[in-house]
Structure 1
Amino acid sequence: MSCTSQKKVTNQAKEEVVLNTNEKPNLIIIHTDEHNFRTISAYQKLLPEAQAFVWGKGNNSKTPYIDKLAEEGAIATSYYAASPVCTPSRASLVTGLHPGATGAPKNGMHISEDVPTFATILRDQGYATSYVGKWHLAGHEKYAFGIKYKAGFDDNRYMMKGGHAPYFHIKGDKFKGINENNAAKLPKEEVVHSTDYFTDKTLEILERDKNKPFALMLSIPDPHTPDYAKPPYNTMYEDLNIEAPKTMAPEYTAIKPSWAGGGKPDNNEAFGKKAFENEKNALKQYFGMVSHIDDSVGRILQFLEDNHLTENTIVIFTSDHGDMFFEHNRRNKGVPYEGSARIPFLIRYPNKIPSGKVINTAYTNVDFTPTILSLMNVKTDAKFQGLDTSDDFTNNKKVVNSDRITYFAKSGGWWVSAVSDRYKLVIDKKEKPYLFDLQKDPDELINFYHDAAYAGIAKMMQAELFKQMKMYDEPGLKLGQKYITE
């Protein structure tokens, strides 16, 4: 197994960009929040049955429109958040840098204004750049617009600082996030669901810009908690008999590493059997939200088809992080388990990406910006920490396999995780190292770190992890290595 080393960023030079094509491709990024990759049926088709349906056989959502991106383009099976919480993951996606270099390594922080983004680069090349939906790179304020620093998105009228209320109450110039109970009490013409609102605004902007090169990012706040799907999606999955995931069983949860909530639960995300019974309906609502998102994707794809824009438009579907949803007795995110850290990534670009491609290579969304700019034939002097992986998407191989090792980390650097397509090493300053074999143990229950048969793999993963952490000045490197030398 070989490793791919990466070049260190030495400066943030002002970018000088040259476009090497007569026809500029368009770009649409559809980005969701707290989205478990297993709820995309294109992933279900590639997973073993027990992994596709961790909540019981057949118990999952269906996403025909999102699946269309994989059928007509490519799907990446080992794509990870740079850090599995909102702000740092989003910052890495738009900059091509690890969170510590973006100015926003923790939730609620502001992205640095002197760091280039893919939008600043495309804007300077004459693209109409727009952002619609949740931003979360300008503080914690909810349902607030008018963000001063646009990060290259010239049209940021609908860039919202944050918030996950299912509905918006809009009356005149007043805008408020509300729950479903309050929505029912108001005049229908004053209430709109957040997913519909942002999708509608996206379609308005696409209509305006369809005759010029455009780059638009739509960031839908769902399927994040509070786990409410609007009708008719709220009853779409009500007949499912949701089962507890295998990893909730007491024999697996009695002893867990500290980074997974072992010992004292670190917060209210630690879960139990009683809570599971009380909240099974939340998962059905979650599936409903995913179906609502899927239909919104369908609306956008139909717009492209109707306006003859399909061939020259890159469409990407991805998310900022996952949602554990009961696995390992947890909800939400922030841990290195697959349900939290692994994210969906599907891309369609008929002019360059062969249809039906499956890519089994470890990426993080630090790789996104250099890769997308390369796919768009954009040259830049901006420096990135992620890799240009565009050849994986454009070559003629139907299946791309690689043993590349990359890494992601907890915001703040309390733990770090090296990952390849098969193996995952987790190192924490308070905990012994954990090595998972995702092929033999996809539930991530067995620590192979001290298994003699895995000694070479553990050594290689660890060496590459520390090499990259040093290269990118990863904060976790300074927090101590108590267990590493044992």
Structure 2
Amino acid sequence: MKRPFTRSAALSSISLLFFISIVSSAFAQVKGDEKPPNIVIIISDDHAFQAISAYGSNLMQTPNMDRLAKEGVLLNRAYVTNSICGPSRAVLLTGKYSHKNGFKDNETSTFDHGQDLFVKRLQKAGYETAWIGKQHLGNKPQGFDYWEILPGQGSYFNPDFLKMDGTRAHYEGYVSDVISDLTVDWLDERESDQPFCLIVGHKATHRTWMPDTGDLDMFEDVTFPLPHNFYDDYDGREAAEVQDMTISKTMVMGYDLKMLTGVENEGTVNRMTPEQRKKYQDFYGPIEADLKARNLQGNELTEWKYQRYMKDYLATAASLDRNIGRVLDYLDEHNLSENTLVIYMSDQGFYLGEHGWFDKRFMYEESFRTPMLVRYPGVIKPGTESDDFIMNLDVAPTMLDVAGLEIPAEMQGESFLPVLTKKSAKGRDAMFYHYYENGEHSVSPHFGVRTERYKLIRFYKRVESWELFDLKKDANEMENLYGKPGYEKTTAKLKAKLAELIEQYEDEEAARIMAQEID
């Protein structure tokens, strides 16, 4: 028989509900003391680890990047899955290789923003998310409560930005400063009671390495030493031989090196205000006049171009470092640093004259390896250095791990927190790489495996060849050992490991090419 609902029963029910409410509120208060950490990811473009003093560089000082290393961890072995701008960012967001997220190259691919992204999962968990600056994945980001992005590559001076409402905003100033201004504005206006995930995408240090007007003469009194393999003859490395990314032949006097006579394009001065233009012309004009008077030829001209490239590139990097400092200072000043994970990374590495090159793309170390610095107070011990293999593939699952969220099985990366915080944790013993683009700079598509000591690469399409390097004896990857007597067992083991990784990551194109080798 159903019990009648009396007033005393009602009061008892109310009391019980009130008690449950009080307990729940108290529990929530306790839980609330452990707020989910905020996340700030700062990703630059084409920034070489060789240009960061925390990595031992003597080229320049980078005090703000170094600060992250001192207050967190310096990752000595951070790598990318595909060394090119857009695809690298697609891997960052999805935690999947290019063949899985669908964005293989900048020439033929379109990124599907509707797929699962780590920021969407953070959103569902109550994070406020934003991307400000360069994304280079199309013009309609998803997974962000706020975004304001550069169209395509964007411009160094007086840049336009795409806004969420479909309009364009035009800002006067230098792009690294503008991105920081927009970042600080968003931080000021965000919902202060929510955890946040902010991605800051810098244009620097992408070609054409245009320094801010106040940094133009920063390295004018410096003569940079040539990399010892600057005059590489590419003996035994066919893919390296046919590339088109040399300082001597590919680098353009006007577009790249600011020799401005008769040149009017984005790579030089056409977006500048009259005041900005005058500073550029006053600075580069005498340099061009001196160059013409000297009438340099051959190696002398090539080495002149190298010096000019380095001065411009590093001066552009100086503004990047300065603006990273602005974000770190903001976090300090607003008492956010202690509960905020900060990552600084580049979308890949870059050549600073090694092999005679600029640009990236190859699986060789300067391109394949990327700078990565992580600060996470209370979790990562300050001043830590890690030699574990970490990949940009791992950023997405790590951010979910940090937020206490489940990492979906479809993500191919791994959280790198365990290898940074637990002595017993074991990282990767090998890394898989696959570069697809078969156009600009004439770099042949290729895939390969890197282990502690060796690197095996399979080039295809433009060039059909294998390369094998012993990184212990040949850190600069100058001698191709593939097919040489005495390396048969090593080659077989590496091919087996490569096949294992291809199967693990379900790379069907690489599998087909490997199958042809057996046939």
Question: Given that residues 242 and 280 in structure 1 are in contact (C-alpha distance below 8 angstroms), is that contact kept between their aligned partners in structure 2?
Answer: yes
Measure the CA separation in 2 of the matches of 1:192 and 1:340. 30
Q: Please name the residue that 1:440 is paired with.
A: 473
- 1:358 alignment partner, SS class: strand
Question: Given that residues 155 and 175 in structure 2 are in contact (C-alpha distance below 8 angstroms), is that contact kept between their aligned partners in structure 1?
Answer: yes
**1:264-314 C-alpha deviation (Å, 9 max, x unpaired):** x33354745433422421211111111111111111111111111111100
Q: Please name the residue that 1:292 is paired with.
A: 319
Measure the CA separation in 1 of the matches of 2:428 and 2:394. 16
Measure the CA separation in 1 of the matches of 2:513 and 2:110. 28
Q: CA deviation at 1:99?
A: 0.5
Q: CA deviation at 1:439?
A: 3.0
Residue of structure 2 aligned with 1:232, choices 182, 198, 214: 214
Matched, 1:155 2:146: yes
More deviation, 370-379/272-281: 272-281
Instruction: Please tell me the residue identity of whatever aligns with 2:435.
Output: K
Structure 1 residues 104 and 368, CA gap change in structure 2 (3 angstroms) = same
Matched, 1:105 2:104: yes
Matched, 1:258 2:235: no
Greater percentage in helix: 2
- The TM-score with structure 1 as length reference comes to 0.80
Instruction: Please tell me the residue identity of whatever aligns with 1:332.
Output: D
Structure 1 residues 459 and 375, CA gap change in structure 2 (3 angstroms) = farther
Q: CA deviation at 1:165?
A: 2.3
Measure the CA separation in 2 of the matches of 1:368 and 1:422. 25
Q: Say what the alpha-carbon RMSD is for the aligned residues.
A: 2.6
Matched, 1:409 2:434: yes
Instruction: Please tell me the residue identity of whatever aligns with 1:469.
Output: I
Question: Given that residues 401 and 407 in structure 2 are in contact (C-alpha distance below 8 angstroms), is that contact kept between their aligned partners in structure 1?
Answer: no
**1:93-134 C-alpha deviation (Å, 9 max, x unpaired):** 110000111121111533223421111111111111000011
- 2:316 alignment partner, SS class: helix
Query: Structure 2 regions of 5+ residues with no counterpart?
Result: 1-30, 162-166, 250-298, 438-443
Question: Given that residues 360 and 421 in structure 1 are in contact (C-alpha distance below 8 angstroms), is that contact kept between their aligned partners in structure 2?
Answer: no
Measure the CA separation in 2 of the matches of 1:466 and 1:377. 33
Measure the CA separation in 2 of the matches of 1:192 and 1:135. 20
Matched, 1:34 2:46: yes
Structure 1 residues 165 and 284, CA gap change in structure 2 (3 angstroms) = same
> Quick check: which has more Rg, 1 or 2?
2
Q: CA deviation at 1:414?
A: 2.4
Q: Please name the residue that 1:219 is paired with.
A: 201
More deviation, 427-436/31-40: 427-436
Structure 1 residues 449 and 174, CA gap change in structure 2 (3 angstroms) = closer
Q: Please name the residue that 1:79 is paired with.
A: 78
Measure the CA separation in 1 of the matches of 2:428 and 2:146. 40
Q: Please name the residue that 1:91 is paired with.
A: 90
Q: CA deviation at 1:318?
A: 0.4
Instruction: Please tell me the residue identity of whatever aligns with 2:206.
Output: H
**1:46-80 C-alpha deviation (Å, 9 max, x unpaired):** xxxxxx4xxxxx4x121111111111111111211
Q: Please name the residue that 2:355 is paired with.
A: 328
**1:397-447 C-alpha deviation (Å, 9 max, x unpaired):** 9xx985610111112592112113433221123444222232322211122
Matched, 1:120 2:102: no
Q: CA deviation at 1:255?
A: 1.9
Structure 1 residues 122 and 174, CA gap change in structure 2 (3 angstroms) = closer
Q: CA deviation at 1:457?
A: 3.8
- 1:101 alignment partner, SS class: helix
- 1:226 alignment partner, SS class: coil
Q: Please name the residue that 2:387 is paired with.
A: 360
Measure the CA separation in 1 of the matches of 2:310 and 2:452. 28
Q: CA deviation at 1:36?
A: 0.8
Instruction: Please tell me the residue identity of whatever aligns with 1:427.
Output: R
Q: Please name the residue that 1:168 is paired with.
A: 158
Measure the CA separation in 1 of the matches of 2:236 and 2:338. 49
Q: Please name the residue that 1:243 is paired with.
A: 225
Instruction: Please tell me the residue identity of whatever aligns with 2:181.
Output: D
Q: How many residues align?
A: 423
- 1:122 alignment partner, SS class: helix
Instruction: Please tell me the residue identity of whatever aligns with 2:498.
Output: L
Q: CA deviation at 1:233?
A: 2.0
- 1:346 alignment partner, SS class: strand
**1:18-54 C-alpha deviation (Å, 9 max, x unpaired):** xx9841100000000011111111111xxxxxxx4xx
- 2:429 alignment partner, SS class: coil
More deviation, 78-87/403-412: 403-412
Measure the CA separation in 1 of the matches of 2:324 and 2:417. 24
Residue of structure 2 aligned with 1:196, choices 171, 177, 180: 177
Structure 1 residues 245 and 300, CA gap change in structure 2 (3 angstroms) = same
Measure the CA separation in 2 of the matches of 1:302 and 1:232. 21
Measure the CA separation in 2 of the matches of 1:319 and 1:463. 31
Q: Please name the residue that 1:25 is paired with.
A: 37
Q: Please name the residue that 1:470 is paired with.
A: 503
More deviation, 452-461/98-107: 452-461
**1:190-233 C-alpha deviation (Å, 9 max, x unpaired):** 62111001111111111222442110000001111111111332
